[in-house]
């Protein structure tokens, strides 16, 4: 198990990074408790030219500032006042690319995930959808800015890899407000994986 290096995130191709993140492992360690899960669904957000991105039009606010920083850091924001959505900051300083983690497959610490989510059974709803991912892994908005190479949240690879045939691309979910950009094939899923979220065009 190796933590992904800074160079993994420091690329001028957020779509490639979103694809490459499939199969990688997110590991969180809060209060000494480890939970980990394999990424099976991602979405790319292509910075200032992407209407679906919070950084569209070079918008800089307290919330989005982290995306303008160096790559390999967490961008976590509150959605609908309830859900903490976990993103990975990509590309170099001043280029606000990000990848949203939309679904993972539990690996370690499932009992802790059940405790955090208040669920009884470890079925596919445990970590399906970006809100559930953060809830199960214990990620909150105040974790925004953590270094994914050295903090309580890490992303690593264990040698496992999905083949291109197992990966499908679709338009992103819930971004209708982005007009034409909502049609871009920036969502990446592992075909047939039961943890992949339900989308209009998804599985």
Partner DNA sequence: CGACCGATCGTCT
Partner DNA sequence: GACGATCGGTCGA
| Smallest distance, DNA to C-beta of residue 62, A | 5
Nearer to DNA, 111 or 164 (CB): 111
Write out the E strands in 95-152: 97-108
Give the C-alpha separation, 82 to 91, whole Å: 28
* Residues near DNA, by CB under 7 A: 43, 45, 52-55, 59, 61-64, 77-83, 85, 87, 98, 100, 117, 125, 128-133, 141, 172-175, 177, 197
Nearer to DNA, 27 or 126 (CB): 126
Q: CA triplet 25, 40, 6: central angle to 5 degrees?
A: 45
| Smallest distance, DNA to C-beta of residue 154, A | 20
Contact 89, 66 (CB under 8 A): yes
Contact 20, 155 (CB under 8 A): no
Class of residue 192 by CB neighbours under 10 A (exposed 0-12, middle 13-18, buried 19+): exposed
Nearer to DNA, 4 or 66 (CB): 66
| Smallest distance, DNA to C-beta of residue 87, A | 5
Nearer to DNA, 159 or 197 (CB): 197
Comparing CA positions, the residue from 126, 111, 110, 138 lying closest to residue 195 is 126
| Smallest distance, DNA to C-beta of residue 201, A | 11
């Amino acid at each position: 198990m190796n933590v992904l290096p800074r160079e993994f995130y420091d690329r001028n191709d957020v779509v490639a990074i979103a694809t490459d993140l499939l199969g990688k492992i997110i590991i969180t360690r809060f209060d000494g408790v480890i939970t980990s899960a394999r990424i099976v669904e991602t979405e790319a957000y292509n910075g200032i030219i992407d209407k679906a991105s919070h950084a569209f039009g070079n918008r800089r606010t307290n919330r989005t500032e982290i995306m303008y920083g160096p790559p390999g850091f967490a961008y976590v924001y509150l959605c609908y006042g309830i859900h903490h959505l976990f993103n990975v900051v990509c590309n170099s300083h001043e280029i606000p690319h990000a990848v949203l983690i939309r679904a993972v497959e539990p690996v370690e610490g499932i009992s802790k995930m059940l405790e955090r989510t208040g669920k009884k059974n470890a079925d596919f709803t445990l970590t399906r959808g970006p809100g559930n991912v953060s809830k199960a892994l214990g990620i909150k908005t105040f974790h925004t800015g953590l270094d994914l190479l050295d903090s309580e949240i890490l992303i690593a690879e264990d040698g496992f890899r999905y083949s291109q045939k197992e990966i499908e691309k679709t338009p992103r979910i819930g971004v209708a407000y982005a007009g034409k950009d909502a049609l871009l094939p920036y969502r990446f899923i592992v075909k047939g994986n039961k943890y992949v979220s339900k989308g209009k065009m998804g599985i």
